Amino acid sequence: MKPKLVKQLRGQKGQLVGTLGAMASPNPELFDKVVNLCKRRSFVFPSAEIYGGFRSTYDYGPLGVLLLRNVKDAWWRSMVQMRTDVVGLDAAILSPPQVWEASGHLANFSDPLVDCTECKTRHREDQLDDPNICPSCGAVGKFTEARAFNLMFKTQAGPVEGAGADVYLRPETAQGMFINFKNVLETSRKKPPFGIAQVGKSFRNEITPGNFVFRTREFEQMELEFFVPPEEADDWYEYWMNERYQWYLDLGIPSDQLRMRPHEDDELSHYSSGTSDVEFMFPWGWGELEGVANRGDYDLRQHAEHSGQKLEYFDQGTGERYVPHCIEPAAGATRSMMAFLMAAYDEEEVNDDTRTVLRLHPRLAPYKVAVLPLSKKDTLLPKAEEVLALLQPHFMCDYDITQAIGKRYRRQDEIGTPYCVTIDFDSLEDDAVTVRERDSMEQDRIPVDGLVNYLEERLAL
């Protein structure tokens, strides 16, 4: 496949590019509303809460695990399933120092750290509003000299501490793809341009984690390393910027809350000759969702040099031998899950009442359908269970028999369930159910034997 040359997102360094028209502005109240909803409706819990919590680590509850999985599945579907030029990988999280020496992380993956000698707090120097004033206690000129603080978590493999036992938790999934380049090339019958995709946990000892799951020390990434002939690198860089920007739009992020920002030269990572970030308007302002980087041949050359292996492509047709260049769209799964939640959250007045509704894209919604018998009388439950059993092989379903039906609709609205299916006393006679759509609240009477088709067509999963 050749890259489509779509120019609309091309920007000069430092120039913002998005759709034309007004962009959204920060909305601090939204942050508290979504964080509260996450706790109340079991999306995300603070980790180790019964022990007082463990700062900036989170556990994904019954609904969060479904939403996060759906975000990762949507990425995998678009990046692997729907393509013929990308294959998947699941590499180890623990890796030896040689990998990180070669990648440059041991030398370069650090933030400048300063200590306030007055209140003993630590800060990232590059994030201070004023490099002389401590944001915690207001002391002026009390910072220590900045020192480089490496963000990788180090641990020991095996029972003996000491030389040779050091291992690192990966700070990105990317290196797993580079060190498997040769394995994949030799076994997958792919040739450049082709990519390796991976979804998984990464770990960074962030100095200033925060803003809920936006920046945590343990998080999930969704990364693609796309290897191309060197002369095609610029076109593919542009192609992937467009693809990735569109992915968020297609899954429901409004265009006025999304933009593409090319990096300034002094922002570029040690490996990158060009990077553009997909940014979302978080409640506190613009924040990165994903970086699309032109990494050149940096990684394959580094690993070839350090491992002594040839990491190159030999084209038998032309007799040409070259080190492919790499274009990398690197997204955060947990961070984009948060963005999808923020973008989906809505409140509206309905019959003098405030309806909270998560207008999540059906592909992302934790439950696609809720099955709700009108009452929990024994007469209705067998029919409701029959409908549930019919739907469960096709869709992730919730089943709720408690409370009045209006309250149950509101509960489903609040967690983003696109359809509620109600079984009432007429259902026992006409073998039909009432289907209510989340956003319009419109209702349809549908025969049970046409229900799966009806929902499949509308959910379009």
Residues at the contact surface with ligand GAP, assessed by CB under 6 A:
172, 174, 204, 206, 215-216, 219, 221, 223, 288-291, 328, 330-332, 334-335
**With respect to ligand GAP, which residue has the nearer C-beta, 208 or 392?**
208
Closest to 339 (Cα-Cα) out of 20, 79, 30: 30
Residue 73 or residue 385: which is nearer to ligand GAP going by CB? 73
Residue 66 in tokens: 């479904």
Distance in Å, CB of 62 to ligand GAP, minimum: 22
Closer CB to ligand GAP, 223 or 400, in the complex: 223
In the complex, which residue's CB is closest to ligand GAP? 332
CB of 334 to ligand GAP, least distance (A): 5
Q: How far is the CB of 368 from ligand GAP (least distance, A)?
A: 26
Q: Which is nearer to ligand GAP, 13 or 445 (CB)?
A: 13
User: Looking at beta carbons only, is 103 or 242 nearer to ligand GAP?
Assistant: 103
CB of 126 to ligand GAP, least distance (A): 14
In the complex, least distance from residue 171 CB atom to ligand GAP, rounded to whole angstroms: 7
- Residue 303 or 436 with smaller CB distance to ligand GAP: 303
In the complex, minimum distance from the CB of residue 209 to ligand GAP, in angstroms, rounded to a whole number = 7
DSSP state of 256: G
* Spatial CA neighbour of 248 closest among 281, 212, 214, 202: 281
Would you list the DSSP string of 332-382? EHHHHHHHHHHHHEEEEEETTEEEEEE---TTT-S-SEEEEESS--TTTHH
* CA–CA separation, 74 and 69 (whole Å): 9
Give long-range contacts, CB 8 A cutoff, 24+ apart: 260-264. 260/9, 260/11, 260/16, 260/17, 260/18, 261/11, 261/16, 261/17, 261/286, 262/11, 262/12, 262/13, 262/14, 262/15, 262/17, 263/13, 263/14, 264/13, 264/14
- Secondary structure class of 232 (helix, strand, coil): helix
Output 290 or 424, the one with its CB closest to ligand GAP. Answer: 290
Q: Using DSSP, how many helices (H) and how many strands (E) does the chain show?
A: 13, 24
Shortest distance (Å) from residue 143 CB to ligand GAP = 23
Least distance in angstroms from the C-beta of 415 to ligand GAP? 23
Instruction: Name the phi and psi angles at 19, rounded to 5.
Output: -80, 160
Q: Which is nearer to ligand GAP, 216 or 422 (CB)?
A: 216
- Taking the C-alpha atoms of residue 204 and residue 171, their distance in angstroms, rounded to an integer, is 5
